[in-house]
Structures are given as structure tokens and as C-alpha cells.
Homo-oligomer: A and B are copies of this chain.
Amino acid sequence: MNLTLVASIAGISAILFAVYLAWRILKQETGTSRMVEIHEAIREGAVAYLYRQSRAISVFIFILTILLALTLGFFAALTFAIGAFLSALAGYMGMIVAIQANVRAAHMARAGLDKAFATAFHGGTVMGMALTGLGLFGVSILFYVVGEQPFQIVGLGLGASLTALFARVGGGIYTKAADMGADLVGKIEVGIPEDDPRNPAVIADQVGDNVGDVAGTGSDVFQSYVCTLVAAMVVGYNEATKYGEGSVMFPLMVLAAGIFSSILATFFVRIRNKSARRAINRGIFTAAILVSIASFILAKTLFDNLNPFYATLAGIVTAVLFAFFTEYYTSTDNPPVKAVAEAAQTGPATNILMGLATGLESTAIPILIFCGVVFFSFEMAGLYGIAMAAIGFLSITATLMAISSYGPIVDNAHGIVEMSGLSLEVAEVTDALDSVGNTTKAVCKTYAVGTSVLAQVAMFSAYVQAAGLSTIDLMKTPVIVGLLIGGMTTFVLCSFLIKAVGKAAFEMIGEVRRQFREIPGLSVGKAKPNYAKCVDISTRAALKGLFIPALISVIAPLGVGLILGAEAEGGFIIGNIATILPMALLLMHSGTAWDNAKKYIETGKLGGKGTSIHAAAVIGDTVGDPCKDTAGPSLSTLINVIGSIAILFATIFVTYALFR
């Protein structure tokens, strides 16, 4: 109880710190009336979309709550509903502040790089703190309420992850339909620059950045955070005989320490020598070192030996390594992206193939690292070790989410600067911040995948214990079948998502073309486009595309478990991990490599903008859009929906499956 209180205080501290930062941001000036006008358009669009999305989701969540109450009892249904609400809240809060921060960062850019950076980074930090604070506070309070029996609050994870899946899918479809529509017609056909106010899809594009990259990522990481924490506590509870009572509290305490470390780390993130990237890296390293020290002390206090600490440390190191390798494969400074850019010299096809090859190759090292951490942490402390490695990985979430949300904030800020006709120097400032933001976005997407997959391994451990399995034998055909279906689910889900974006983009392109054709004077800036029409297309497409992926993610694990039994469900989970990890890395890294190859050319390399090489790279970038921002991120959420369902229904699979 004593320690549970500490954890909830850490959660509240994070929320208070978020409120403080938000207040500081809101105090800042918002710039010219033109800037405010654009900002308002983005805000309205984003809030309107989230409202409609929430309404659509609530029906689904409501039905599921009833079903859960009928099958698993009232309390499971209640935690489910709370999880869903908190996940949506985390995304929503972060997004509202991010939108307030973007216009202020744009305004601050007139005062210099460091000021603009500080505003954007603080805006991102609000998200990081709100998310981890809500997560830790929610879990610790509920944990207290249920009498410290972690198994009772597994429903929280399912609610959070299902809501996150909706947010990812909806946000992903929304943002990419708009982005593709804006780019393909604006850049290629009409020949106007990105973020040009003449482009009818430009506001929808900016809205999309917020509902997708900010709110979607926020909900996603929130759910990984909650799922991992609950799973680790469940495993700790079951293994308490081995490690003593401390094993349930250790995960809570490490995450509490992570929050305080991340709060401290924010004070180290200041621009010196004009390098935003170095400032960010300093933040990551500071947080990682502080939380490592804290975990060491905690483990010393709670346990007889340091094995759980080593597992946790392995997780922290993995988080840093993941960031490093993602940067290698996706930053414009390194050979892979340059090779993708050079391949554009022989046209879009070779550009696309080289990006694909880069993404495929980039799966190797993260997976080997992942295998290493699973192997090592299991050697250290069995299933509990794996769970603690996942906790270690997640301990610096607040810092990494701050960096992640920084990306769309500066992206929007740059858009606002471009559209408001501010001076070239100001645009250069926001452009410099934006280019760093692009890499941090990629790093954080990979981090989100890493958290989800590690969370899933922890949940797999919890599932195995919940179902009381002693083996999951690959020599049994139901297990193989479950595994193959788990693998296939990944591919089918991607198909639906890419198709949804493709169709929406098709419609968007038609609309943007129509406006340029039918509104006289639009292309020369003498008339205003109809932004609302494009916002509407994105909204409808996103809402339409929500349900099938959500249904698949619920029905597939339930179906396998109910038909083939608990052991096959274990195969399903592992088969799913085995394909989701490489597929998500492939989709995100390829997508970012294409995007940055295009950006590399736009800096004047290989002929620069306006050449056929640039046009080829834009096509590659467009192909990558739904891969990196819709399908990839949705996969990482799907995986935890599956894990939560498996844990919740474990005993039912054991008792009632058709072939058991």
C-alpha cells in the first residue's frame, strides 16, 4: 500500500507537471491574425474529428462492455471501460496542447531557433507526462481498489488497446488520405509547394498530423504502457514465491522512477550550438541513466539479488539501441537513405524497390537485439525477467513521447509559417526543427512498436500463467495452425488499412483536382479553396475504415482460442509477434526512408526540386505514407488487443474450446 501510494503520487506529479507546462505554453503569444486563423482551422477540424470518432467508438465500446459484463463479470467490464476512457483522454489531452503549441512555436520561431524549440518540446512533454501520469495513476489506484490483485485489472489493458487501435486506424487513414491527396495533386500536378494555402487538402493534412501522429500515437503508447505494467504485475504476483512480495511492486516503482527521471531530463533538453538533435539525445541519455540508477537502488531494496535489475537494465539499453538503429536506417545523413535517393535517378520503380530493400534489411538488427533481450532477461529471471525488460524499455516513455510529439508540433508550426507568409528566415528555423522532427517521429514509431512487442511478450507470459499451460507444443497441429493464422492476421489487417487509405486518397485526389479545375483563380492564389470539403472526405473515410480492423483484432484471437483451445492461442500470439515485428519495422522504415530520400533531394542534392528525380522520390514517399503512418502503427496496437483478449479469456479457452 505504501509503495502503491508512491506510484500514484508519481502519476499525479506527472499530470501536474503536464498542467504546469500547458499553462506556460498557453501564456505565450500566438502571432499574427493569419496564423491564428490557420491554427483555429486546424483546431476545429481536429476536435470535430475526434468528437465524431469518439462517438463512433463509444458504441463499439459500449457493446463490448455489456458483453464483457455478461461473460467475465461486472468488474472486468468496468476496468475495460475505464481503460478505454483513459486511452482516449491521453490522446485527446496531448493533442489539444500540441495544437496550442504549434502556433506558438511558429510565432517563437521569429525570435530564434532555441525559443521555438523550447515551446515545441514543452508541448510534446505535456503529452509524455499526461500519458504516463494517467497510466501510472490509473493502474495504481485501481490496483489499490482491487486489494492489490493485479489480475483483476487486466480489462484496463484491453479497453486501452482497443481504443488505441481505433485511434491509430482512424487517425492513420485520416492523415494519409489528406497527405496523399495534397501531395499528389499539389506538388506533382499543379506544382505548388508543400503546405501551400492554395491547396484545398492542406488543412485536412495538418489536422491529420494531429489526430494521427499526436492523438493516435498517444493512445497507442498509453495502451502499451498500461498493458505492460499490468502484465508485469500479474507475472510478478504469480512469481512472488520466487522473488518475494517486492516483485509486484517493482514494475510500479520502476515506472514511477522513470517519470521522475523524465521530469528531470527535460531540464537538460536545451539547444546549445544550434543542434536540436543533440539536445534531444541528451534528454534520452539523461533519462535512461537516471532511471537505471533508480532501478538499481529499488532492486537492491526489494530483492535479495540483482537479477530483476539486470533484466530491467537490458530493457532500458534496448530502448536506446532501437533509437540508434532506426536513426541509422532512416536519417538523411546515412548511406541507406542516400541509396534510396540515388535510386530515384532511374525513376520511381527503382526508388521504390530500393526503399523496400532498405526496410527489409532494417528488420535484422532490431530483431536480433529483441531476441537478445528476451533471451538474456529470461536467463536472468525467467518470465518475470522478460516482463521487467519490457518495463525497463517503457521506463523512459515520458521522454520519448515528448520527443515523438515534438515532431508533429514543429511540422504544423512549419506549415503555419509557410501558409501565413512569414519571412524566409522564420521558415528556415521551422524547417530545421521539422527535419529533426522527421527522424524523431521515425524513432518514436519504432519505439512504439518495440513497446508493444515487448508488452506482448510480457502479456504472453501472463497469458501462459493465466491459462495454466505447462507447454505450448509446436508439434501439435492446432498450435501450428494458430501460429499460421496469427501470422496471417498481420497481413490481412495491413491489406484493409492500405486499401482504406488508397480509396480515400483516390476520392481526395478527385476533389482537389476538381477544386483546381472549377474554382477560378485558385492556382494563382486569387481565390480560396474549400478546405472543409477535404476535411469531410478524410473524416468519412477514417470513420468508415475503423470497424473491420477492430472486428478482425477481436474476432481472430477469440476465434482461435474458442475453436482450437488455449495452447493454440499461445501459438497464435507468437505467430502474430513473429510477423508483426518485421512487418511493422519494414513498413515504418521503408516509409521513412522514402520520405527522407525525398527530403534529401529537396535540399538540392541530385538536382533538387522540380527534376524528374524529385518527382520519382515524391511517388516513393506517397507509397510509403500509408505504410509508415497507417498500417505500421496500427499493427503495433493490434498486437496488444490480441494479448489482452487472450489473458482475459484464458480460462474460458481452457474450459470451453471446441478442440481442447
Contact = CB atoms under 8 A, between A and B. Distances in A.
A56 interface: no
Contact of A349 (B346, B363, B575, B622): B622
Given A483-B578, A578-B578, 4 more contacts: A188-B347, A356-B623, A379-B477, A619-B619
Contacts of A498: 353, 356-357, 360
Report the copy number of this chain in the oligomer.
Answer: 2
A343 B626 CA distance: 15
Interface string A609-645: 0000000000100110010000000000000000000
17 contacts: A180-B350, A346-B505, A350-B506, A353-B501, A357-B498, A363-B491, A363-B492, A367-B485, A367-B487, A374-B477, A464-B475, A471-B474, A474-B571, A484-B581, A488-B582, A491-B582, A491-B586
A370 B370 CA distance: 30
Interface of A: 180, 184, 188, 343, 345-350, 352-354, 356-361, 363-364, 367-368, 370-371, 374-375, 378-379, 386, 464, 469-475, 477-481, 483-488, 490-492, 494-496, 498-499, 501-502, 505-506, 509-510, 570-571, 574-575, 577-579, 581-582, 586, 619, 622-623, 626
Contacts of A502: 343, 350, 353-354, 357
Contacts of A619: 347-349, 619
Contacts of A375: 477-478, 481
A23 to B, nearest CB: 43
Contacts of A574: 474, 480, 483
B499 A354 contact: yes
A180 B346 CA distance: 10
Given A481-B371, A581-B484, A184 B469 contact: no
Contacts of A488: 363-364, 367-368, 582
Nearest to A579: B579
Interface centre among A343, A479, A586, A623 (most CB of B within 10 A): A623
A370 to B, nearest CB: 7
A574 B574 CA distance: 11
A143 B272 CA distance: 75
A274 to B, nearest CB: 35
A349 B184 contact: yes
A450 to B, nearest CB: 13
Contacts of A475: 464, 469-472, 570
Contacts of A479: 474
A545 to B, nearest CB: 12
A484 B363 contact: no
Contacts of A478: 375
A354 B180 CA distance: 14
B491 A357 contact: no
Contact of A184 (B347, B374, B578, B582): B347
Contacts of A360: 491-492, 494-495, 498
A496 B356 CA distance: 11
A348 B622 CA distance: 9
A502 B180 CA distance: 26
A655 B486 CA distance: 33
Contact of A491 (B364, B505, B575, B622): B364
A488 B372 CA distance: 14
Contacts of A575: 578
Given A484-B581, A498-B356, A579-B578, A623 B349 contact: yes
A620 to B, nearest CB: 8
Nearest to A508: B346
A361 B570 CA distance: 24
Contacts of A363: 488, 491-492
Given A364-B491, A491-B364, A491-B586, A484 B350 contact: no
A165 B198 CA distance: 54
A277 to B, nearest CB: 27
A509 B582 contact: no
